[in-house]
Each structure stands twice: as structure tokens, then as C-alpha cells.
Structure 1
Amino acid sequence: MGLYKKHFGLSGNALLACLTLVNGLTMGWFGYDQGVFSGVLISSDFKYHFPETLDANISGITSSCFSLGAFIGCLVAFAFGDKLGRRRTIMVGSACNTIGAVLQIAAFHLPMMIIGRIINGFGMGMTSSTCPVYQAECTKAKYRGRLVVVGSLSNTFAYMLANWMNYGLYFSSGPLQWRFPLAFQLLFPIISVPILCFLPESPRWLLNKGRTQEGLSTIALLWGKNLEVTNETVQDEYLSILDAIEQERLDRVPFKDVIRFRDKTQNMRRILLGMGTQFMQQFTGVNALGYYLPTILTEQLGFTEAMAKLLSACNATSYLGSAFVCLIIIDLVGRRRMMIYGSVGCCITYIVAAASVKVAETRLAYEMGALTVSMFFLYYVIYGTSYAKVPWVYSSEINSIGWRTRGAAAATATNWICGFCITQYTKKAVNNLGWGFYLLFAFIVLCYVPVVFCLYPETSRRSLEDLDYMFIQYPSPVVFRHKALTQRERPEEFVLAEKERILRGENLTTKLDNDSDRKSATITHVERV
């Protein structure tokens, strides 16, 4: 009951909604930062104050240093996130975000702007690697994919908001053009941080740290309104998690054996799968377009700055619509199919864009420019219903309890360092490769199809503890030969395995209770003597 009062009397869906709101705002901040700087870079007042950014290399590092800071933040989350816990890691990250944002808003020379972006990125690395894990660990299996996608959907909404703000402020003058959009991001922590203060810690993290009573009470809080800890559903979830933690502890091996793939639960393979999804996301070329779409439209396709910003904002709006579609279908279709569809679809749009840019060099410049823009729009629709969301869900659920924070941090670090490379060299690549720039990405995304088909198991509609069982029972990295690893529906053998975990969990708690009783009896006996 004390824990219930601590969270202002909220439980069940109300408490989960607050948790989802915080994750949504934090991931929304991430999306806003991704979208806002593309407009800042081409603002006339910004170029007046920071003329160094007219150089392609300086412009690239000013944009990409944010990703470099985020990469470092992910490494810190990898090293210390499991010690801090999910809530406190997000708190620390949000504090760094705020400091970095203030430095950017007040920047009066380029080094101050770059330092602000690095600190902002550092905090974003911590929060973006932890929020999906926090959401996944606090949510039932049947809602997990959708609620993790809500965070990513907020990212897309904020990205769209930033683009429309860039367009609206284009018609203003002076520092308002770029200082106000940078200042607007402070709205996100003003709302999210106070709510985060009264949210519970992840029950799986609590149980893994030995805080069993608090973990059990938190499951009761999150799994339904005013549930008692003795409720059968609460007890089943608690016992299943407890057994999975115990089995992981029994099978634990030294770190050097983990990185040599010698542990029973295959933690290194699972980390690499999560990292692979984020690598694939970045090398679809999304940040190449996200950061530089207005620049590509003006310099390569000949649009005016006003039209470039308007098209970027319209594109971000259609991208948001596709993200809503993803929210509906991600648990219906499954992760594997969405990634394969995204690879084929993005490949086709890139091929058509490359051909239209090539033709525009000699004839039909207006018509081919319009076709290229339509391919960018279609690309974002396909990407928005596949790689925009699936990697964040996949990397938050694929890892074991003891490695979930580190696995998600490694995956997010991959996202950021790849984003840094893409952002740093996009402008030069567009200038030097021309239409070949799009053909390069077409080839890369097509290569994802056999990789996903052969190596990536399905994770939808499985509990997080099911995945431990899956990697123990099916150690082969090649998954397409086993129906249980590729079908969308939860396999019957996973259901039976959960029942066995619950039974073992009951035996474990009985043993712990007996050990506690014997310890109490010994202490009492000593006191009497």
C-alpha cells in the first residue's frame, strides 16, 4: 500500500499511461532535435552569426557532433545504466540534454554551439538507449510492441513539428529564426521530468537487483488497477521473471566467455542482432535525408529555400501518418516481415530517385525533380512503417534481463555512430556522387533482405522470458529453418515453457522462504542463549 501512495494512487492503465507519456516526451525530444537543426543550418541569421558553416566540412561537423555526443552517452549507459536503474539513467540524461540545449540557445560563437550540441547529444544517448527498455520491461507482452512504438511515434511527431516550425519561422527575421526553435525543446523536460519523479522503477530491474518485494509490488501496480500482490496474474508474471533471473545467474559465465559466444543464453549474439537492426536503420540513409533534405532540394534539385522547407514539413507530416500505421500493424504483422518489406520498398524508391536525378541532368529538369521529391515522400512512408520503429522495439526486447540495458545501449550507440558518419559525409557525397548517391543506398538496403530472413528470429507476441528460452533451445544463428523462430503467433512450446518457469519459480520462492525461516530461527535461538 505504501508503494501505491508513493505513486499518487495511480495503478494499472493510468500509471502505465503516465510512464508511456514520459517515454513519449523523452523520445519526442530526440526526434525534435533531429529535425530542428536542418532548418537552423540554412537560416540566414544563423549563417550570418556562424559564417564558418558555409563550408561543407564545418557544416557537417556542426550537425554530426550531436550524434558523436550521443554515441558517448550510449557508452556511459552501457557501463553504468544497469547500476543506476532505468529511471535514474533517464533523469541524468534529461539533465544533460537541458544543459546542452541552454548552451545552444545562448551560443554567440561556433565552439559554444558545438559544445552545446555534444552535451545535448550525450544526454540524448543515455535517454534514447534507456527509454525503450524501460517501456518494454514495464509492459505486458501483448501491448509491448505498440507502446514502445508510441515512444518512436512521438519522435516522428516532434520531427514533423520541428520541420513546420522551421518553415513558419523562415518568414521571420533575426535570431528568432533559429534561437526560438532551439529554445522550444525545453518544453519537453518541463513536462516529463516532474512526472518521471513519481513513476516506479522497472520491476524486472528491481527483481534482478534482489529487491523482490518492491519488484512484486510494482508488477501489481502496473499489471492492473488496484491489484493485490496475491493476484494469480501478478504471481505468474513474478514467478516467471524470478525463474528466468535465477536461470541466468546459474548459467552466468565470465565476460570474456560472453564475447566469445560461450554462454548458454547467447548474450553476445543477441547484442549483435540488436546492433544490426540499428545499423540497418541508419544505412537506409534516413539521416542523410533528415538532416540535409532542405539542402538537397535547394542545391541538387533547384528549389527555393521557402519551397524546400515547405516540402520538408509536408514530408514529415506524411512520415507521421505512416508511423501511426506502424503503431497498428507492428504486433499484427511481426518484426521480420516489416523489416523485409522495408528493405525492398526503400530499395525501389532509391533506384527511381537515382534514375530521375540522372535524367534531370540533361532534360526534363522540373518533371524529374518532382519525381525525385515524390520518391523521397514514398521512401519516408515505407521507412516509417518499417525501419523507423522496428529497431527500437527489437533492441529493447531481444536481450536477457542482465544484459538488457547494455544490449540496448550498444544498439543505440551503433545507431548514433552510424548517424554521425552518415551526417558528416552526406553533403560531400551528394556533391561528388550526384545520382550515384541514391544508387549506393539502394544496393545497401537490398542486402538486408537475406540477412533478416536468415538470421533474425521473430520477437512479437513473446514474453521477454520466452526469448531466453528461445536462444537456449535454438542455438543455431540460422533461424529460417525453424517455424517456432519465424512465426508471428506465440509457439505452443513457449507457453508450456512458461508454465514450467512458474512451477520452478514457486519452488524457488518456497526454498527462499524456508531458508529465511531457518535463518530467523537461528537468530532467535542465539538471542535466547
Structure 2
Amino acid sequence: MKGMKTFNYTKPYFGLRGGWLTFWITVACGADMTLYGYDQGVFSGVVISSDFLHIHNLEGPSKTTLLGTVTAIYNVGCFLGSILAYWLGEKLGRKNTILVGTTIMAIGAVLQTASYSLGQMMAGRIIAGLGNGLNTSTAPIWQTETSKVQWRGKLVVVEMILNIAGFSLSNWVNYGFSFAKGPISWRFPLAFQFVFIIILFLTTPWLPESPRWLMAHGNENEALQILAHLEDQDINDSFHREIKYSVDYERTNSVSWGDILRGRADEKSGTSTVRRLILGMGAQSFQQFSGINVTSYYLPTVLTTSVGMSSDLARLLTACNSVQYLCFSLIGIPNVERWGRRKLLIFGACGQCFCYIFITALIRYNEMEGYSHRYEVASASVAFFFLYYIFFGIGMQGVPWLYPTEINSLTMRTKGAALGSATNWIFNFMVVEVTPIGIQNLGWRFYVIWIVLNAVMVPIIYLFYPETAGRSLEDMDDYYRVKPPLLVFRDKEAISSKRPERYRVRDEQLIWGKEGIEVDDLTQHIENGDNP
């Protein structure tokens, strides 16, 4: 049939090449990000299920702290998984690490879905988190290392959208099953994870390994074969030269964790390594300090406890909110290059601070005994929860995940991404742990914390964070090689959302096109900051 792809089962990857092969890698990575988003939202409906609370003996105000721990402990597993992914990913490869992570997630999902005790549920949460940490730290690297340069940005957009789509789906599943009575109201939403787990098991094993990982481990012939399939070309040494250079450069200039801890990282990289690591980790912490997981994990709880709504209405509003969150996130992601990282982060922090000011004030009056308009102010606060997600979706959803991969040097990209992800997960745990306790004990005062944190982000981003939009890794290395001042806001070039002209001039003399320059010579030129 015209236009349909036919599969040749006798050839590698069922005969798929080029765009079709990249498409199926994206399906696998997209299923992983959708599962990540689904897991972020599904427990918000579980924790207000009366059957779940009864079976696990979590009913009553005295169990609020324990309920927060059960919810938050998932993020401890994610933190450990993201740290483990750095070593395991280098030993097993990208796709095998994802298969290990998916297997661990499947075990965790079974334990949670079949849980009849608090210990079993907590074990399931930790195990599932461990697998998710492995997967979410590995899948983006696998996608990047198997995609053409001109497709990478578009595929990042797709994966971010699928992450939010998974979050939205979990809220609608929670709402739909809230009408069911008994165990199915929370067991089915937890079991639904297997849809994405099965997709990962069906797609990942037959897809190609990262050619960059293969080349780094001495399997150059296999890497060339995979590159030929991905590029839909014959084997040609010319189109793997950049990967070979990158691998050799990283091997020669690699920085160990010991070098970083002893403050010797700059002796090898010479490009403000620790400072750049802190900036990347800080960007990831901003996402959690924005207060997003006060609502991602607990919005139904917030709406029932702080606003005073019924659990059915709270679930419905949470599900509706997730749809508008998905829609408005589409605005920020395609424009992240046009507006720049700094502007999006500042825009998000300002808007989130504004929303929490009104949320705090309105909930304050809602909790005031004898106030005659409590229903009206409680209803008004819902609008600002919705508005909060608009600012977060545009400004804070994607940039904290992009920034660590851009601000760190070539030799520190993997470590920087791992530390950034781990930072996000550990602060995620902290926020999810304290939220139910804060809502119960502090009432409206709990939301003041998020006003302050969002307000503090604005000057920090403005003063210390250089722009990375439009810059290559080599551009950022050039910038940090001259030891720029800590305060970047006075340097118009450093904060411009457009690429500085001097980098374009340098590119006109790129060493790639010059004949007779070997990889070792390239490495020396880059280290010296030369333009040969």
C-alpha cells in the first residue's frame, strides 16, 4: 500500500533506517518520559482514597507525617537511581540500562498495586523510584546520541510534551476511578503504569545502541554500522569524525569525582568546572523551590484541606488543570531559543510568586472563623492555582532540565546532568515530605514559604546566570576559559539571548574543514583556546 512502511525481518532493526529508526527510538524514549509524568501525578489521587488509607492504616491527622513519607520516599529511590545511572550507564550501555530500569520499575509497580501493608507499599515506592531514576537519567542521553543534529531540539520538545501528557493522563485516570468504590479506585491507576512499561519492553531490545557509547568502548565497527543505519547512508568515515574527536577529547580531559571534591577539576578542564556544576544544580533546585510538587503530588489534598472542596470536585479540577498545563507548556518549549533561558526562568519565578501571594491571602481569609465570604475567596484561590501552572509550564518546566547539559563543558556533560538530576530528586523528596505536614500545622502560612523562595530566585538568576541559548558547548567553554566575573548581569554579551558575534567569526575558521589536522592536534587547540 502506498505510503506504508514494510518491514524486512531479515535485516537489522527490521530493515528500518534513517527517520523511521529515529522515530522508534523516540517512541521508546517518549514512553519513558510519559511514564515519568504519569508517576508524578498518579499518587495525588491515591493518597485521598479512603480504601487506600484504611488498608494501610493511614487515616487521621496523626498519620499525616507518615503519609508524606510514603509519598516522598519514591523520590529517594529516584535520587539513588539517577546517581547509579552514571556508573551503570557507562558499563551496560544506554539501552541495557533502560531495560534494567524498566524491569526494576515493573517490580515496584507490582508491589504497589498488590499492596496490603505499609511496608510493602514503601518498598514498592522505593524500588519503582530507583528504576525511574535510572530511566530518566539515561533515555535523554540515548535519544540525543542517536539523533541527527537538526532533529534534537524537536525531539526534546516532543519528550517534554509527553511528560506533561503522562501527568495529565494520571489525573484523568484518578478522576475516572474515583467513582469506583473499594480497592479498584487506587489499584487500577497504579497498575496502569504497565501500559508504558510494556511499550518499553517491546521496543527497546531491538533498537540500536548509542554509537557514541560503542565508540567509547572500542566497538568502532559496530558504531559505524549503526551510524549508517541512523543516517541512512553507506558507511563513511567522514560522518563519524566528530564523534571520534569528542570521545578522544573526553578520554584525555576527563575529570574524576575525586578531582571535583578536592578542588582540582580546573587543573584538567580549565573552565570553571565547579562553578558551572553549581549553576546547573541550582537550576534544577529552582524547579522544586518553585513549589510545583506542592500541587503536582497534592493538589487534590490542597483543594480539600486548604480550600474546603469535596474530593470528587478536587479530582475533577486537578484533571482539568493538567490539560491547561499541557496546553500552555507548548508556548514555552518552542520559544526557549527565541526568549532565552534567563528570561523564561525569571518570567516563571515572577509569575509563580505573584500567584502564591494571592493564594496565601485568599486561603488566609478562607480559614478565618466568622468571615462571611469564605466560599467566595476559596473559589477565587482555585483560579490562581490554575494560573500558577501557566507560569510554570511556560517558564520552569523545561529550562532546569536543559541548563545543566548546556552550562557544563564537554568533559563534564554526563556528570553535570547526573548531579543536576540528583539535585532535582532530593529536593523533590524534601518538598513532598514536608507538604502535608505544613498544610496541617501551618495552614495558610505554609504558602508564604513559596512566595519567599520564588522571589529570591529572581535576583539570583539575574545576577549569576549567563545565557546559554544559541551557544554551543565550545562557546560556553570559551566564555569560562577567561575566568569571567561571578556577577554576569553587567556583561551584555553574556546575558544576550542571541549568539555573540565573536563566536560566529570563530566558526568561520573552524578546524573541522582544514585538512591534515589530527584529533590530538584538535584537542590541543581547544585546550589552548586557539583558532588555528
User: TM-score, with normalisation over the residues of structure 1?
Assistant: 0.87
The answer to whether the 8 A contact 1:244-1:468 is kept is no
Cα shift readout 1:262-303 (whole Å, capped 9, x = no counterpart): 231443333322211111101111111111111111111110
1:166-245 correspondence runs (5 A): 166-222=174-230, 224=231, 226-230=232-236, 235=239, 238-245=240-247
Partner of 2:316: 310
- Structure 2 counterpart of 1:445, from 444, 454, 474: 454
Partner of 2:259: 257
Q: Which has the bigger relative contact order, CA under 8 A and spacing at least 6?
A: 1
Which has the larger displacement, 266-275 or 438-447? 266-275
Partner of 1:525: none
Unmatched segments (≥5 aa) in structure 2: 1-9, 523-532
Establish whether residue 337 from structure 1 lines up as the match of residue 343 from structure 2.
yes
CA 1:475/1:247 → structure 2, altered by over 3 Å: closer, same or farther? Answer: farther
Cα shift readout 1:380-415 (whole Å, capped 9, x = no counterpart): 111011211111222344434443333222111111
The CA deviation at 1:142 is 4.9
The CA deviation at 1:215 is 4.1
Partner of 1:388: 397
Establish whether residue 164 from structure 1 lines up as the match of residue 172 from structure 2.
yes
Which has the larger displacement, 268-277 or 153-162? 268-277
- Structure 1 counterpart of 2:131, from 98, 123, 133: 123
**Structure 2 residue identity aligned to 1:194:** L
The answer to whether the 8 A contact 2:340-2:497 is kept is yes
Partner of 1:523: none
SS of the counterpart of 2:299? helix
The answer to whether the 8 A contact 2:253-2:411 is kept is no
Unmatched segments (≥5 aa) in structure 1: 513-529
Identity of aligned residues (%): 40
- 1: distance between equivalents of 2:391 and 2:36? 21
Partner of 1:32: 38
- Structure 2 counterpart of 1:59, from 67, 82, 88: 67
- 2: distance between equivalents of 1:505 and 1:438? 62
Which has the larger displacement, 125-134 or 257-266? 257-266
CA 1:125/1:375 → structure 2, altered by over 3 Å: closer, same or farther? Answer: same
1:71-470 correspondence runs (5 A): 71-222=79-230, 224=231, 226-230=232-236, 235=239, 238-252=240-254, 255-259=257-261, 260=263, 261-262=265-266, 263-362=269-368, 363=371, 364-470=373-479
- 2: distance between equivalents of 1:207 and 1:376? 48
Cα shift readout 1:447-504 (whole Å, capped 9, x = no counterpart): 1122222332333333445444444355544433444433333444434545534157
The CA deviation at 1:27 is 1.2
**Structure 1 residue identity aligned to 2:303:** L
The answer to whether the 8 A contact 1:53-1:62 is kept is no
- 1: distance between equivalents of 2:250 and 2:276? 14
**Structure 2 residue identity aligned to 1:189:** I
Cα shift readout 1:107-141 (whole Å, capped 9, x = no counterpart): 12111111011100011111112222333333455
The answer to whether the 8 A contact 1:130-1:409 is kept is no
The CA deviation at 1:181 is 0.7
Which has the larger displacement, 131-140 or 51-60? 131-140
The answer to whether the 8 A contact 1:136-1:396 is kept is no
The answer to whether the 8 A contact 1:145-1:331 is kept is no
**Structure 2 residue identity aligned to 1:458:** E
The CA deviation at 1:178 is 0.8
**Structure 2 residue identity aligned to 1:239:** R
The CA deviation at 1:80 is 3.0
Cα shift readout 1:328-354 (whole Å, capped 9, x = no counterpart): 222332222111111111111111111
Which has the larger displacement, 10-19 or 245-254? 245-254
CA 1:406/1:193 → structure 2, altered by over 3 Å: closer, same or farther? Answer: farther
SS of the counterpart of 1:52? coil
**Structure 1 residue identity aligned to 2:171:** N
The CA deviation at 1:46 is 1.2
The answer to whether the 8 A contact 2:306-2:444 is kept is no
Cα shift readout 1:159-200 (whole Å, capped 9, x = no counterpart): 111111111111111211011111110010211232222333
The answer to whether the 8 A contact 2:157-2:334 is kept is no
**Structure 1 residue identity aligned to 2:94:** R
Partner of 2:16: 10
CA 1:130/1:398 → structure 2, altered by over 3 Å: closer, same or farther? Answer: farther
The answer to whether the 8 A contact 1:136-1:397 is kept is no
User: TM-score, with normalisation over the residues of structure 2?
Assistant: 0.87
The CA deviation at 1:48 is 2.4
- 2: distance between equivalents of 1:199 and 1:384? 32
1:488-527 correspondence runs (5 A): 488-498=497-507, 500-503=510-513, 507-508=517-518
CA 1:419/1:401 → structure 2, altered by over 3 Å: closer, same or farther? Answer: same
SS of the counterpart of 1:200? coil
